[in-house]
Amino acid sequence: MGHHPVVVAEAAAELKASGVGAGGTRNISGTHPGIIALERAIAKAIGKACALVFTSGYVANETALQVLGRMLPGVVILSDEKNHASMIEGMRLARCERVIFRHNDAAHLEEILRQFPRERPKIIAFESVYSMEGDFAPIHSICDLARKYQAFTYLDETHAVGLYGLKGGGVAQEIQATQRIDVIQGGLGKGYGTIGGFVAASQLIIDTIRSFGPGFIFTTALPPHCAAAATHSVRWLSHSSEERALHREVVASTKEALRKRQIPFHDGGTHIIPIQVGDSRLCQAMADYLLFERGIYIQPINYPTVPRGTERLRVTPTPFHTPEMIEALCEALAAARGEAVASRMVA
């Protein structure tokens, strides 16, 4: 979407009309019509009453979780162990009690929920697509628990917005769970191809975050041309499913081609395909071989992003990868481990 002709044209037109910067913080001259239009487009695409835009997805998480954790008296936050650093930082700044549940483990979450009095406020914080594991959260099971134990739900859809759901509203939208989630956080820099982040929720929640969030109040607003690009990307993907359909096809063909070549990978059902390597130097050497010998950029994921011994290459197909590219990737991957060892890239 970062190269989409409509998105580029709208950003260029706005750049000429408004200049490069926003001119101030949101409350001091930085709220421009473009950012309001963006918030409306997001709320509509996600399926929530309101949305609030931040300069990044990181700032959105850090600010929103911090405010919620501070505003709800005596709240305890239950956090998936694989949650992103921005969520962890938001919870740390909230200075409330936090308990970590095992990744995607609803039974463990329930065990923890049972330990707290019913009337004590609780927030369950999790992601819909985990970018290092390539798996989905059990959203409905977590929402069932939230209802049973009267917990508030906070879902990071950074890796899902634009890519899943009829209007690109994320995995919750795709599985009809949007109204079961209290706050949906998303990024504008990944599927939407631009920059910025947001939270979408009820008017009351959004007004609370707007009124008390340092990451909203004390920083210069997203510039108008960035807002224009994001608005048109969000609108485009809320009307067109073509890109999502194509993406799914390319992801399915990539997985099929990997299976055919017997290259082991973890299939969590998402568009992210982790290929287990299990050794940091080998992982880096394989990535170097792919880049320098084959002209293919695949990210090596090493400690501390993932635990030692679980190092992996992460394949993220786009709608624009062709069958020839997929074939070249699989052929190169099949050779990479042996080549990396043989060329003494690994000691």
Ligand X SMILES: Cc1ncc(COP(=O)(O)O)c(C=O)c1O
Nearer to ligand X, 43 or 188 (CB): 188
- The angle at the Cα of 232, spanning 228 to 233, to the nearest 5 degrees, equals 115
The whole-angstrom separation of Cα 292 and Cα 57 is: 32
204, burial (CB in 10 Å: exposed 0-12, middle 13-18, buried 19+): exposed
> Would you count residue 213 as binding ligand X (CB under 6 A)?
no
Q: Does 271 bind ligand X (CB under 6 A)?
A: no
Question: Which residue, 137 or 285, is less far from ligand X as judged by CB?
Answer: 137
Applying CB under 6 A, among 39, 127, 243, 311 the residue interacting with ligand X is: 127
Q: Which residue from 162, 197, 215, 300 is in contact with ligand X, where contact means CB under 6 A?
A: 197
Which one of residues 57, 69, 274, 300 is an interface residue with ligand X (CB under 6 A)? 57
- What is the smallest separation between the CB atom of 58 and ligand X, expressed in angstroms? 3
**Contacting residue, 79, 131, 173, 270, with ligand X by CB under 6 A:** 131
Residue from 18, 56, 63, 128 that binds ligand X (CB under 6 A)?
56
> Is residue 133 a contact residue for ligand X (CB under 6 A)?
no
Q: Which of 315, 303, 307, 338 is nearest to 266 (CA)?
A: 315
Q: Which is nearer to ligand X, 121 or 187 (CB)?
A: 187
Provide, rounded to whole angstroms, the least separation between the CB of residue 278 and ligand X.
23
Distance from C-alpha of 21 to C-alpha of 238, rounded to nearest angstrom: 27
Total binding residues for ligand X by CB under 6 A? Answer: 14
Site for ligand X in 69-108 (CB under 6 A): 84, 86
Give the amino acid at 75: V
Q: Given 3-state DSSP classes, what are the helix, strand and coil percentages for the chain, each rounded to the nearest 5?
A: 50, 15, 35
Single out the residue of 89, 100, 140, 189 in contact with ligand X (rule: CB under 6 A): 189
Which region, judged by CB under 6 A, interacts with ligand X, from 21-29, 54-62, 251-259, 311-319? 54-62
Structure token digits, residue 214: 């340092």
Please tell me the distance from the alpha carbon of residue 110 to that of residue 122, in angstroms, as a whole number: 12
Residue 110, number of CB atoms within 10 A of its CB? 16
62 touching ligand X, by CB under 6 A: no
Answer yes or no whether residue 158 interacts with ligand X by CB under 6 A. yes
Candidate segments 30-38, 55-63, 107-115, 174-182, binder of ligand X by CB under 6 A: 55-63
Quick check: 316 binds ligand X (CB under 6 A)?
Answer: no
| CA-based end-to-end distance of the chain | 41
Q: Which of 45, 58, 139, 168 binds ligand X (CB under 6 A)?
A: 58
Full strand arrangement of the beta sheet holding 50-54: 50-54, 197-201, 183-187, 152-156, 122-127, 76-80, 97-101
Stretch that binds ligand X, among 17-25, 51-59, 66-74, 331-339 (CB under 6 A): 51-59
User: Measured from the CB of residue 87, what is the shortest distance to ligand X in angstroms?
Assistant: 7
Please count the CA atoms within 13 angstroms of the CA of 184 that sit on its side-chain side.
33
Q: Answer yes or no: 190 catalytic.
A: yes
User: What's the length of the chain?
Assistant: 347
Burial grade of 215 (CB within 10 A; 0-12, 13-18, 19 or more)? buried
* The dihedral sign for the CA sequence 237, 1, 192, 104: positive
**Catalytic residue of the set 122, 190, 255, 260:** 190
Stretch that binds ligand X, among 52-60, 107-115, 234-242, 300-308 (CB under 6 A): 52-60
- Examine residue 304 and say whether the peptide bond preceding it is cis (omega within 30 degrees of 0): yes
Q: Which is nearer to ligand X, 26 or 121 (CB)?
A: 26
Active-site residue numbers?
A: 190
Per CB under 6 A, residues contacting ligand X are 56-58, 61, 84, 86, 127, 131, 156, 158-159, 187, 189, 197
